[in-house]
Amino acid sequence: MSSGDYPFVVEPVTGAIGAEIHGVEIARELDADTVAALRRALLEFGVIFFRDQSLDVDRHKAFAMRFGRLFLHPNIKGDRSDPAVINIVREPGDTKIIGEDWHSDTPQVAEPPMGSLLYGVDVPPYGGDTMFASQYHAYEALSPGLQAMLENVRALHSDRRTAGPARDYGAANVVQTLSNDQWRETAHFHPVVRTHPETGRKALYVNRQTTIAFEHMSEAESRGLLEYLCLHAHRPEFSCRFRWKTGSLAFWDNRCTQHTAINDTGRFRRVMRRLQLCGDRPV
């Protein structure tokens, strides 16, 4: 089933977010029209999924760079030969994994990533799904009064909960992060409601991992409303769930989605590879 006028098959996953793309081999050199159509699908559905793709690091990077410049994470160490490549390995017995709560990627920086491309290198037969939630729908479902109240409000985003001394490094073999003595807090204020630079739609922009407090308010004063917004942001009707297989790739628009990793792979090893794309300052 296709939605819109696309030169490939687009199969929506839910009514709010997500679509599987069929008939595109992303390891190949794609023409400009196909790349433009894929970008349009990303903007329409928030996250697009590909199956049965054979991607080494170079092909993964080549595909990603058709959509923007590669982003370097401030606190996660990339591959020794290429800092833009993040290998996410979950070993049997690990009790925690990266991305285990709802979040958008790296909003603590001044210009958060535009998007992320996650590839299944070695995926177990079941478990380890990723869920996505549309922050367009989250914003649009708020009451007009709450929308108006949040219109010009900013919130502080920080990595103090996910890096540095507060991070429980010994709980899991997650990814290679900076040591405590190397880590310095990264924090920036961003609007609670951001306007997407390409679609012009408004999206809710807070999350449980990094949003600390509203500007000019204490953490205690902010807690109640922030908790409400963060729970509201991933209501079932805004969401989809993607079941991974080896060779699958998910490409999400980080400006209007949240996602969470489900830690239920149990006795299996799981290896994923992530690239991120540079973005701009939320407005």
Phi-psi region of 37 (alpha: psi -120 to 50; beta: other; left: phi over 0): alpha
For the chain, what are the domain ranges? 9-277
Q: What is the mean pLDDT of residues 141-155?
A: 98
Residue 3 clears pLDDT 60, i.e. is over it: no
Q: How much is the pLDDT for 181?
A: 63
Q: What is the mean pLDDT of residues 247-256?
A: 98
Partners of residue 191 on adjacent β-strands: 154
pLDDT digits (tens, 9 = 90+) for 51-97: 999 999 999 999 999 999 999 988 777 666 789 999 999 999 888 88
Q: How much is the pLDDT for 184?
A: 79
Residue 173's pLDDT band, with cuts at 50, 70 and 90, is: very low
Residue 12 clears pLDDT 50, i.e. is over it: yes
Which of 60, 259, 270, 273 is the catalytic position? 259
Is 103 one of the catalytic residues?
yes
Residue 98 clears pLDDT 90, i.e. is over it: no
Residue 170 clears pLDDT 50, i.e. is over it: no
Give the CA distances from residue 31 to residues 21, 34, 59, 63, 110, in Å, rounded to whole numbers and listed in that order.
16, 6, 15, 11, 32
Which of 105, 234, 270, 273 is the catalytic position? 105
d(CA 175, CA 20): 28
pLDDT digits (tens, 9 = 90+) for 197-221: 999 999 999 999 999 999 999 999 9
Domain 9-277 has CATH 3.40.50.720: no
Better-scored residue on pLDDT, 140 or 174:
140
Q: How much is the pLDDT for 75?
A: 74
Phi-psi region of 279 (alpha: psi -120 to 50; beta: other; left: phi over 0): beta
Question: The tokens of 126 are what?
Answer: 């079941």
d(CA 36, CA 30): 10
Which of 103, 137, 190, 208 is the catalytic position? 103
d(CA 153, CA 214): 7
Residue 155 clears pLDDT 90, i.e. is over it: yes
d(CA 52, CA 140): 35
Q: How much is the pLDDT for 268?
A: 93
Q: How much is the pLDDT for 94?
A: 87
Q: What is the DSSP string of 64-81?
A: HTTSSPBP--SSB--BTT
Is 232 one of the catalytic residues?
no
Residue 165 clears pLDDT 80, i.e. is over it: no
